[in-house]
Amino acid sequence: MLRYILRRLLIAIPTLLILIIICFLLMYAAPGGPFTSERPLPPQVLANIEAKYGLNDPLPVQMWNYVVGIVTRFDFGPSFIYKDRDVNDIIAQGFPVTLTYGTISFVIATLVGVSLGVLAAIRHNTLLDYIAVGATFSAQALPNFVMAPILVIIFTWQLGWLPGGGWNGGQWQYVVMPVIALSTSYMASIARITRSSMLETLHSNFIRTAKAKGLSTRTIIRRHAMKPAMMPVVSYLGPAFVAMITGSVVIDLYFSTGGIGQSFVNSALNRDYAVMLGVTILYGTLTIIFNLLADVAYAWLDPKIRY
């Protein structure tokens, strides 16, 4: 098991290197640079700036320096646009925001989604089941950039209950709408997966046996059906967590949370290369870690898998 985890973590190294190479190539090929502006800089000023950031070095040298900086100093470089911050500062400021509401959304989506799915499975083919299926499909299809403005119109403008955006250090009023907008569609996915997996489990032989023995539905669900039914859900959760944090770009932009998704989009628009690279690497690492966690959890649930 440990060997397996180590191996998977080792894959992270070539993955991240490839990411760095892709980003550098894109940067190299992209028209415009961080210092392109409506009033073109005099060549001498531009040369001074590029020399300051080492942008006049050949591409491989830049890449090498970048990797060396990360490995030796854990330094992801300076922001080309925001002079008083480096990439580490920007991530340290924005990531906790995204992580906070991302995690809350994840927990809520999982709890509500699983409960709803189990409930729909138990009440299979009842009105409740049909409503649940219809609602989850709709929720899954509704983009969160539609939901966000509707939430703001209702809760901010009409009711005046919640602030329409911002973060304000993470006070709860500021967290509510981002969480609702982000978690709904994942909640729906989780509910769907749970429902179909639970249905399948409930029709399997060992559950029939348990029923034949006269155990109550509640006991059957809790003691026997839950664990096997959760397996597909668990393997969905890893990628879902990453997707929730990546998908938070919409939330960050609409609610102006100052989260990392906003930093990424801005850095791409501004050609703030170091920030762009830093955030991409952060997400690459997250993707690797959470895919691994999902697989490990899966193995833990399924005794038949051996490493």
Partner 1 sequence: MTKMPRFVIAGLMASTMLVGPAFAAGTHPVTGDALADDQTFTYRVLDEHSSVDPQVVEDVIGSEIVRDLFEGLMNQDAEGNLIPGVATGFTTNDEKNVYTFTLRPEAKWSNGDPVTAGDFVYAWKRLVNPELASPYAWFGELMSIENAAAIIAGEKPIDELGVSAIDDHTLEVRLSASLPYFPLMTTHASTFPSPQKVIEEHGDQWTRPENIVSNGAYVLTEHVPAERSVRERNQMYWDNENTIIDKVVALVINDENAALTRYFAGELDRTEVPAGQFPKLKAEYPDEAVSFPRLCNYYYTFNLSDSGPEEFKDVNVRKALSLAVDRKIITENIKAGGEPQAYTFTPGATAGFDIPDVPMMAMSQEERDAEAKRLMAEAGYGPDNPLKFDMLYNTDEAHGKIAVALGQMWKQKLGTEVTLANMEWKTFLDTRDNQDFALARGAWCGDYNEASTFLDLLTTPSGYNDGKYSNARVDELMTEAKTADDPQPLYTEVEQIIADEVPIIPIYHYAGVYMLDSDVGNWPVNNVEQNWYSRDLYKKAE
Partner 2 sequence: MVTRPGQKPETIGTIRNERIVEKLVEAEKVKGRSLWQDAAGRFTRNRAAVAALVTLLAVVIFTLLGPFIAQWSNEEIDWARMGDIAGQGGPSIETGHYFGLDEVGRDLFARTIQATQTSLIVGVIGALMAVIIGTLYGAISGFVGGWVDNLMMRTVDILIAVPYMFIIILLMVMFERSFLMLFVGIGVVSWLEMSRIVRGQTLSLKHREFIEAAQAAGVGWFTIVRRHILPNLMGVVVVYATLLVPQMILVESFISFLGLGVQEPNTSLGALISKGASTIIYGTIWQLAWPLVFFLLTIISLFFIGDGLRDALDPKER
Place of tokens 């927990």: 107
The rounded distance, in Å, linking the Cα atoms of 16 and 18 is 5
| Nearer to partner 2 (CB atom), residue 183 or residue 235 | 235
Q: Could you say which of 46, 81, 99, 142 contacts partner 2 (CB under 8 A)? A: 142
Site residues, partner 1 (CB under 8 A): 30-33, 35-42, 44-45, 48-49, 51-52, 78, 81-85, 90, 93-94, 96, 149, 152-153, 156-157, 160, 163-170, 253-254, 256-258, 262-263, 266, 269-271
Long-range contacts, stretch 273-276, CB < 8 angstroms, 24+ apart: 273/23, 273/27, 273/34, 273/80, 274/76, 274/77, 274/78, 274/79, 274/80, 274/86, 274/87, 275/79, 275/81, 275/87, 275/90, 276/23, 276/27
The rounded distance, in Å, linking the Cα atoms of 170 and 162 is 13
Residue 39 binding target from partner 1, partner 2, none, CB below 5 to 8 Å by type? partner 1
> Among 17, 107, 15, which residue's Cα sits nearest to residue 292?
15
Site for partner 2 in 174-213 (CB under 8 A): 196, 199-200, 203
Q: Could you say which of 225, 264, 275, 278 contacts partner 2 (CB under 8 A)? A: 264
Does residue 9 bind partner 2 (CB under 8 A)?
Answer: no
The rounded distance, in Å, linking the Cα atoms of 132 and 118 is 11
Give me the 267-306 binding string for partner 2, x by CB under 8 A, dash otherwise. Answer: -xx------x--xx--xx-xxx--x---x--xx--x-xxx
Pick the piece of the chain touching partner 2 (CB under 8 A) from 55-63, 79-87, 138-146, 159-167.
138-146
| Nearer to partner 2 (CB atom), residue 195 or residue 224 | 195
Cα→Cα distances 281→5, 16, 21, 239, 287, Å: 20, 6, 11, 16, 10
Does residue 156 bind partner 2 (CB under 8 A)?
Answer: no
Residue 45 binding target from partner 2, partner 1, none, CB below 5 to 8 Å by type? partner 1
Pick the piece of the chain touching partner 2 (CB under 8 A) from 25-33, 42-50, 81-89, 162-170.
25-33
